[in-house]
Each structure stands twice: as structure tokens, then as C-alpha cells.
Amino acid sequence: MDLHILDHRLRVTSISKSGLEQYTHPLIKLIFLRNRTRCKFFSLTETPENYTVVLDEEGFKELQPSEHLQVEGSTWLPLNVVSNGNASSSSQAVGVTKIAKSVIAPLAEQHVSVFMLSTYQTDFILVREKDLAVVVETLAEEFNVFREEGGESVPVHSQDACNGLQRNGREVPHATVHPVLIPENHFCVMSLDPDTLPAIATTLIDVLFYSNRSKEDASVDQDMECIVFFSFSLIDGYISLVMDTEAQRQFPTDLLFTSSSGELWRMVRIGGQPLGFDECGIVAQISQPLADSDISAYYISTFSFDHALVPEEDLASVTEMLQTQRMSS
């Protein structure tokens, strides 16, 4: 399999809930007006805490500093695994599960923090630019590594990247087991032809900037604990949307598409307290057991918490798995 280091230098930022209004102008530009920006990697995820915005340097220029904008200090690079047809894996699973053992686990062992961003099209593994040498050396064992530069894929050899660099120790990190939350919403992972984006513009603007779905909506039914979660990304011209079925009902049914199985996903939110960016092994902790059971999963990191999406029908076994993990820790 091939691993591509994509040609984007990313910043991971967070806009406070009350600051969204102030950032409406640049965000609408980045989402809808492709001719007005050179940003090629843009992702916006609303959670109850804030809006996580991951974007390249061209996009980042659009965000004026303010008390409402938090910026993680590093530059992050997105990695992408490309199965080139002869993959030996017999797994039918999709998402982060496919790369749990080949990418996530080895990086966790090397104490490399990752920020995951699953989309409809693929799963991006974001690593800090300063960790690149370790990443390349670690993953070169399993992958042909390429660096994309100006449209070309250039092979990278581990010695190129980690020349003179000490590899981190090989011990498995003693990861904290974080509490998880399993909200009641059902999610779909969808896409959209970029040319039809204008047709859903007002709905998308409404949902992203004006919905302010409060917890009161959920408290109508006391048994139902729903979470506010909506993710939009526009990366290299591809659009991905993750939303719950309630939000989905607001969109025209004929424009958004999902995988043919049309499955619904349940969320496992990881973290009782904001996770920060330095802890390693959080993704590994969830994705390893999922991979062992060949359960598909999308995985979306945000500024404060991590979010795994698993198929509705696998939720019972995932819950059991997580309970076992928590009892044994």
C-alpha cells in the first residue's frame, strides 16, 4: 500500500460558539466561494463546545486573530493511505479501521500524536510537521511513502526524512483510558457534487450559522440525549458532510448522497475533559479493538474531543468492548 504525504500545510483552530458570528464572512468565503480563495483544505466541525476549523495556510490567512479564535501552535500535514488494488487485507470494513494496525498503532507506539479526520472519501491522518521524520521512518516498514509536491508524487525514503534523527523509544505508551459518551443521534456520512453546492447554500448556511440547536430541543424527550455535531469539509474539491438525521431532513433529498448501503452511524465521543493535542494513542485505543472485530468506523478529531462513528448494528459489541477496556484498565 502507498502512503501519501499530501501537499497541504494545515492549522488546527477553534472558534468559540459566541465568536461564530464574527467569523461568518471568512467562513462563507471558504465554503462557498472557491474562486475567491486559494484554500484547498477546509474542514469545519461543530460540537457542543466550539467549532473546530482545520485549514491550510491560504485559508488560515482569512481568519483574523481574536479572543474567539484558538490556534494550535503546530503545522500539521495530512497523510492518506491509498490501497493500490493489491491490498492483502480481506477486511470489508471502511474508515479508520482499515488503517488501525498499519498506521494508527505504529504511530502511537512512536509517541506521535495524530489528529484524525475521516471524510466520505477517505481518512486523513494529520501529524505534526516536526514529527514527519519519525512518521516516515515508522511507516516506511509497511508502506511506499510518497510526498505530493505541486501535483507530483515523489517517493520518500526514510533516511531522507530522518537523517540523523533519533527514533523515539519503542515502548507502548501507557495510555489513559478516557470516559466515553454515546449520544442517541443517528448520523450519516454524505457527499455532494461540488457543482451543486450552491443549491444547498442557504440550507447549509442556516444549519451551520443560525441553527444554534440548543440542548432544550433534546430535553423534550428526557430519554434522548442528542449531541450537536455537524461536520463539513471541502478538500481538494471533494465535499464531505457528517450530520445527524435531524439535520439531514433539512436538506433536499436528491442532492446529497451516501454510500449505497445508506447506513446510519452512532457516535462514541471520547474524552470527559478536553483531550488536548499531545496525548498519543487515543485513536489507537478505539480503533484497535474495532479492527480486531472488523467493525467499520469513521473518526473525527476536534479541538476538544474525539469522535468515532460506528455502524448502528455494531453498537452493542462496541459498547461491550469499551466496557471491557475500561474495567481492565
- For a copy of itself, which is the closer residue by CB, 22 or 91? 22
Beta bridge partners of 266: 310
Residue 50 C-beta: closest distance to a copy of itself, Å: 17
8 Å CB contact between 199 and 14 = no
Sorted by sequence, the CB contacts under 8 Å of residue 76 that are 6+ apart come out as 9, 10, 11, 12, 54, 115, 126, 127, 128, 129
- For a copy of itself, which is the closer residue by CB, 18 or 329? 18
Using alpha carbons, list the distances in angstroms from residue 37 to 33, 59, 126.
Answer: 7, 7, 22
Residue 256 C-beta: closest distance to a copy of itself, Å: 15
8 Å CB contact between 144 and 1 = yes
Residue 19 C-beta: closest distance to a copy of itself, Å: 11
Residue 34 C-beta: closest distance to a copy of itself, Å: 10
Burial of 210 (0-12, 13-18, 19+ CB in 10 A): exposed
Q: What is the rounded distance in angstroms from the CA atom of residue 199 to the CA atom of residue 229?
A: 22
The two most distant CA atoms of the chain are separated, in Å, by 60
Interacting residue ranges for a copy of itself, rule: CB under 8 A:
20-22, 24-26, 28-29, 32-33, 36, 197-199, 201-203, 205-206, 209-210
**Which of 229, 233, 231 lies closest to 194, judged by CA?**
233
Residue 62 C-beta: closest distance to a copy of itself, Å: 11
Beta bridge partners of 43: 54, 233
- For a copy of itself, which is the closer residue by CB, 36 or 157? 36
- For a copy of itself, which is the closer residue by CB, 36 or 167? 36
- For a copy of itself, which is the closer residue by CB, 156 or 207? 207
- For a copy of itself, which is the closer residue by CB, 181 or 205? 205
Alpha helices in 89-176 (DSSP H): 105-109, 132-139, 158-161
The CB-side HSE value for 286 (13 A sphere, CA atoms) comes to 29
- For a copy of itself, which is the closer residue by CB, 246 or 263? 246
Residue 68 C-beta: closest distance to a copy of itself, Å: 13
Residue 202 C-beta: closest distance to a copy of itself, Å: 4
